[in-house]
Amino acid sequence: MLKFLLTIVIPIAILLTLSDADRLGAIPALLLSLVLPLGYGVWELARSRRLDVTAAISIVSLLFTGLIGLLELPPEWFAIKEAAIPLLFSLLIAGSAGTRYPLVRLLFDQVVERETAARAIASRGTEGAYRRLIRRTSWLWAGTMALSGVMRYVLASVVVTSTPGSAAFNRELGTMSALRLPTVTLVTLILMIATTTYLVRGTSRLTGLTPSQFFRGGRRVAALLDRW
């Protein structure tokens, strides 16, 4: 709840209500709206004491947003920034799909008992089928990221049209952030859950194990996946 307030609700409220010249002004309101999620992201990285990819990407995205506003770059740059990160992820995932170390498998290995799953796959002779499962999942995930990038670009292009550094730009930025939740974020989340479920169920079928037997999260995580 705190994360939702600091990274979404309060920044949107600042952009929509405090950007006029008789209040904070455009640039101070923009910077204040970025400080809260930026500070939360840095705090998350410091607390975990490890590289959290999601937090790091969020920090980079926020810095670019601030830079676009301060330098008053054309609004098209903001739309490009919005699309660039998910599209880059899509390329990385798709590019690694046919290698010995697919990104999807490297990430999946972080949440499963890798040795347990590997032994079960070897004993059932399903190594080839598992590689195909990882490859298909990679393409599904890459497609989800590509779709997210396209949706973010279209949304930003339609909503954010004013010159960065202006009160109108701030209000449009706040509006876009609010609209992104029930559109881009919701669609991406649903597709990611569906892709993860597909991978987990495929792994369960190829290993002959239930999710609770190969997931590091144990029965609690398996129960959530079984509901989907």
Six-digit token string for 134: 């990882």
Give dist(CA 28, CA 66) in Å, integer: 11
Rounded-to-5 percentages of helix, strand, coil across the chain? 80, 0, 20
* Mean pLDDT confidence for 147-163: 93
pLDDT tens string 168-190: 999 999 999 899 988 999 999 99
For the chain, give the mean pLDDT.
85
Ramachandran region of residue 17, left (φ > 0), alpha (ψ -120 to 50) or beta? Answer: alpha
Q: Is the pLDDT of residue 145 over 60?
A: yes
pLDDT tens string 48-70: 666 556 666 777 788 888 888 88
pLDDT range class, residue 202, cuts 50, 70, 90: very high
Six-digit token string for 118: 């590997």
Per-residue pLDDT, 41: 76
| Every domain of the chain and the residues it spans | 2-227
pLDDT tens string 15-26: 889 888 888 888
Task: Name the least confident of 49-53, 93-97, 221-225.
Answer: 221-225
Per-residue pLDDT, 64: 85
Owner of token pair 């770059």: 73
Cβ 80 vs Cβ 135: under 8 Å? no
> Cβ-count burial of 144 within 10 angstroms (0-12 exposed, 13-18 middle, 19+ buried)?
buried
Residue 4: partners with Cβ closer than 8 Å, 6 or more residues away: none
Q: Minimal CA–CA distance to 79: which of 153, 163, 8?
A: 153
